[in-house]
Amino acid sequence: MEGSATKGMSLLTLNESETKKTRPKNSYIGRILVKGYNTQLSHDDVESSLRKLFSSCGEITDVYIGVLANNTLRSFGFVYFRGEGAVDKALQLSGRDMGGWNVIADPHPFPKDADCIGAAAVYVYGECAEEKVLGLDGSYIGEHQIIVKLVSARRIYTVHPRRRHRCPFPVKKAKMTSEE
């Protein structure tokens, strides 16, 4: 084991402890659905107005407003918060005048079971790796039971899912050349 790992303490244990220190409680993460803005306004203007209005409620981790194919805004968007009571504070601002439009804020909670299962990915390479990994199903590592199956990513998050699923590399279009 390298670095600052304490003798007898696994790297997994150290990472779990670190995560618990820095990760906010699920009850401190929330989101609201917003509507009421003019969809002909610029994306930046609406986002800026929403950030300004809700900045006193808690830490805003994301403002998501979808854009339609005709380059107009969707009629609703999402504001993601981190902070105790942030969503409740934001809901109290529903109906506020935003310079010609009234913001409507509705609760948009995460599903109750959204973060009840933690998961980690482990890569095992070698001959008969799949067969051996499936054989681990139901066994334990310390107090953690191993369940081998397909799991999804966590569903309580501080940014809109489109930020997590976006391709990290821009897709380049092939240039057309004329044949001479």
Does pTM surpass 0.85? Answer: no
* Collapsed DSSP state (helix, strand, coil) of residue 133: helix
For 118-176, write each residue's pLDDT tens digit.
Answer: 666 676 767 777 777 778 888 888 877 887 764 444 566 777 766 554 444 444 444 55
Handedness of CA 160, 164, 167, 169 (dihedral sign): positive
- DSSP notation for 89-100: HHHTTTT-B-SS
Dist. CA 7–CA 50, nearest whole Å: 50
Residue 11, H or E segment: helix 11-22
Extract the tokens encoding 30.
Answer: 């929330």
CATH number of this structure's domain 26-107, picked from the four choices 3.20.20.210, 3.30.70.330, 3.40.50.880, 3.40.50.300: 3.30.70.330
Give the pLDDT confidence score for residue 24 in this predicted structure: 66
- DSSP notation for 25-53: PGGGEEEEEEE-S-TTS-HHHHHHHHHHH
Domain boundaries, the chain: 26-107, 117-151
